[in-house]
Amino acid sequence: MLTPSLPQPNQKGDHHSTGPSHRHHHPAPSALHANGAPKASPREHKMQHVPTSGSSSAVKQHSFDEIRCSDIERDNVREIVRTLYETNAMALAGHKSRLEGIGEKLNKVNTLAFLWAIFSDKDFSEKMHYIFSTFWWKAQKMGFMSGVNGKTGFQKHPFKDIEPYLDDWAARLGTTKKAVAPLIQAGYKKNDWEPLVKHLIEATTKKKV
């Protein structure tokens, strides 16, 4: 952190000195903190808060379009959600093999693209809200999360690989990188993506889960 040049305390006897070459100038009262230390200038204050090159804010951001899934992959993701939304728990077992087959086709789809395929469409955001907030759809919710937390649905790219796209991705879904980054990191660490999914439901539907 930068340290402003501070005026040195008077040496003993300085107050007896005469002539302009020996006069010591003290900061005006308004330029002092309560403890007597000089306040940093606006320029110095700004420089003190420059992020280091290793901070998250220093990561160069890219357009999410660079890692978006294909239209076919998007439709496959939405087919999973549609089936869960339209099928009651009794009949869900009959779709298990088909849903797993669709999931296998999505193994290479990265985390952001998978979620974007759902939450970029208001209708599917509403379907997710219904699945996650309706007691009788508990099996559907568990089915979705088991696919997300398991091998299907997400290709586990390291966080550093998707971080450059977070600003644009989050903005498109009505949220911010600051809000989603810790949820994504927790998802990788704990293999628990439900807090992120709930956040995106609330961000895109404006409804609590």
Q: What is residue 36's predicted lDDT score, i.e. its pLDDT?
A: 52
Q: 152 with 103: CB under 8 angstroms?
A: yes
Are 111 and 173 a contacting pair, CB within 8 Å?
no
- Rounded to whole angstroms, the Cα distance separating 196 from 79 reads 21
| Ranges of the chain whose pLDDT falls below 70 | 1-57, 150-156
User: So what's the pLDDT on residue 172?
Assistant: 97
User: The whole model's pTM is what?
Assistant: 0.70
* Rounded Cα gap, residues 50 and 115, in angstroms: 33
pLDDT digits (tens, 9 = 90+) for 102-118: 988 888 888 899 999 99
C-alpha 24, offset from chain centre: 52
Give tens-digit pLDDT for 5-45. 333 444 444 444 444 444 444 545 444 444 454 554 443 33
Q: What is the DSSP string of 85-114?
A: HH--HHHHGGGHHHHHHHHHTTTTSBHHHH
